Structures are given as structure tokens and as C-alpha cells.
């Protein structure tokens, strides 16, 4: 398995409310010749990598010093699905990635509108060497050796029952468009805890007995799968293996990353990246330099 490293062919900007803070933020993605996904703000760099995760409850948040970026998982999933592993994400204002459509569809469409280009390197591959299972309670995630990439999610959801979603290397509309969700009756509790303040029908699936807001029955499972992909993107490479998650969540995804990285379960095949250079920063013109 060999994949070519990609970056953007031009810059693209996203502006919108954060799902939890309800505050408006603005991000601009810039092309980068150097390997890695980095958030950037006023001279500060924050790598989109596991060691910088500071919260994995209800969302995945990154921080380095006082530089905090909340709810990164839909954006990192979109970049992973596009094969983009070299990009500089300038945080112009705000602290949370915009929720936009509630999934990854808008991110993917807008990035594709400016195009992609190869960097001349191979992507870093992370091969699963042996079976590993993380099971704190009744939920679990299992990772096995597999020549390719296969992500599966299965869970029980309010009012729709048990559903399953699969990603086999080819993004589908079902995966990209799956919105974040919760039970309709849970909104007051979320708001009381300062969560979901940016939730609206356009970006959040509210589940109730009528199922009137459901676009397709597997939508909750596909959104959980999208979260899984975005969270595992923080491993810092393309995972070569099979991942099966049963009732997993952000916290379990975080625990899995910890086990994979510290337990020696991954064989790293490094890309031929340049060395001794800092990630690119945007110039005054807005392009990477």
C-alpha cells in the first residue's frame, strides 16, 4: 500500500459557529510543502497530534500553552478522507472549529473546489502489527492487521436501534454528510452545561420518536464513524489495518490512540519528508511561504 502525500492547491476559508461554544470562528487552510497538519495563530504552532489532546469528552480538543482549538475531529476527518497530510490551518479568530453542516461534507467540497496537489512524498503509513482491543466497559474498539484500511462502527441509538457504518477507503455521501446528533429531550441539559450552544437543525440531528429529522437510518452510526476517523487521524499517519468500534466515543478513541502509540502496536513507514524545517507560515498575501 502506497499513498502520495497531498496538500491544497490554494487557500480556503471557513467561517461559522462552533457546535459547543456557539461562538463564531474563522479558519483559513493554506498549502504547505512540509509534512504535517498544524494549526497556526499569531506565531504559535499547534500540531494536530495525539500528545496535544487536552479533552476527549463530547469533542476532541487540542492545546499547546494558551493556544486552544476545540472540536477538531470533523476537519481532521475531512483531511484524512481527502488524503491531505500537509496543511497549515490559520486560526484567524475563535477557539472552536466551525460546525458548518454538522459533518465533513462542506469541508471536503470547499477543499476540492480549490483543488489538491501532490507534494512529491509518500504518506506516512502506520501498519497494525498485531491485534489490540480496548474495552473499559461494555463498549470496545478492536484493531487488527489488514492490508488496506477498513473502519467499522456499530452501536445502539435512541429510537433507531442498532446500526452499522463502514469506510473501506472510499468516502461516501452517507459518511461525509452524517450530522452530529443527540436526543431532542437532551438539549436543555446540554445547554445547561454550556454544550451544544451552536446546535441548529441544519447541523444537528435531533432524535425523537417521530424520527422526522432523520435523513437516513444509519446517519448516527456514520457520524460516529466520522468521529472515529477524525480522532485516529491524530495518530499522525495513514492507518493500515482494520478498526472495529462497538459503541465507541471520543474518550474511547483517545484511549485507543494511547494504547497504539505506547504499546508498540504500529509499524511506522516514514514518508521521504524534508528535515530541519519549520512548518510553513502564511505570508502577507495569504499563501504559504
Catalytic residues: 250
Helices (H), 194-284: 219-232, 250-262
**CA 36/CA 166 separation, integer angstroms:** 26
DSSP tag of 279: P
State the DSSP string of 61-105. Answer: EEEETTEEEB--HHHHHHHHHHTB-EEEEEEEE-SB---TTSSSH
Question: 79-96: string of b/e by CB count within 10 Å (b at 16+)?
Answer: bbbbebbbbbbbbeebbb
Query: Would you call 170 helix, strand, or coil by DSSP?
Result: coil
> 246: buried, middle or exposed (CB in 10 Å: 19+, 13-18, 0-12)?
middle
Look at residues 112, 38, 34 and name the one whose alpha carbon lies nearest to residue 72: 38
SS3 230: helix
123 contacts 85 by C-beta, under 8 angstroms: yes
R_g over Cα of the chain = 18
3 state SS of 175: helix
State the Cα–Cα distance between residues 154 and 111, nearest whole angstrom.
29
Amino acid at each position: 500500500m502506497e499513498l502520495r502525500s497531498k496538500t491544497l492547491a490554494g487557500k480556503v476559508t471557513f467561517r461559522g459557529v462552533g457546535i459547543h461554544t456557539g461562538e463564531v470562528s474563522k479558519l483559513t487552510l493554506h498549502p504547505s510543502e512540509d509534512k504535517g497538519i498544524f494549526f497556526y495563530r499569531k506565531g504559535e504552532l499547534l500540531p494536530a497530534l495525539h500528545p496535544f489532546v487536552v479533552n476527549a469528552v463530547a469533542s476532541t480538543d487540542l492545546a499547546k500553552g494558551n493556544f486552544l482549538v476545540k472540536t477538531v475531529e470533523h476537519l481532521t476527518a475531512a483531511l484524512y478522507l481527502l488524503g491531505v497530510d500537509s496543511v497549515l490551518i490559520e486560526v484567524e479568530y475563535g477557539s472552536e472549529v466551525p460546525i458548518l453542516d454538522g459533518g465533513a461534507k462542506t469541508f471536503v467540497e470547499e477543499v476540492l473546489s480549490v483543488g489538491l496537489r501532490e507534494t512529491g512524498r509518500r504518506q506516512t503509513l502506520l501498519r497494525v502489527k498485531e491485534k489490540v482491543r480496548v474495552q473499559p466497559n461494555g463498549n470496545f474498539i478492536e484493531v487488527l492487521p489488514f492490508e488496506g484500511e477498513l473502519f467499522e462502527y456499530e452501536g445502539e441509538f435512541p429510537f433507531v436501534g442498532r446500526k452499522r457504518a463502514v469506510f473501506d477507503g472510499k468516502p461516501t455521501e452517507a459518511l461525509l454528510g452524517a450530522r452530529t446528533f443527540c436526543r431532542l429531550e437532551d438539549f436543555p441539559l446540554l445547554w445547561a452545561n454550556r454544550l451544544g450552544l451552536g446546535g441548529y437543525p441544519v447541523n444537528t440531528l435531533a432524535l425523537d420518536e417521530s424520527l422526522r429529522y432523520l435523513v437516513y437510518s444509519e446517519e448516527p452510526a456514520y457520524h460516529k464513524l466520522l468521529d472515529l476517523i477524525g480522532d485516529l487521524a491524530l495518530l499522525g499517519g495513514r492507518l493500515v489495518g482494520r478498526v472495529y468500534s462497538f459503541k465507541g466515543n471520543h474518550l474511547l478513541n483517545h484511549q485507543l490512540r494511547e494504547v497504539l502509540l505506547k504499546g508498540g502496536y504500529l509499524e511506522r513507514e516514514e514518508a521521504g519528508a524534508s528535515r530541519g524545517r519549520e512548518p510553513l507560515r502564511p505570508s502577507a498575501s495569504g499563501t504559504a511561504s
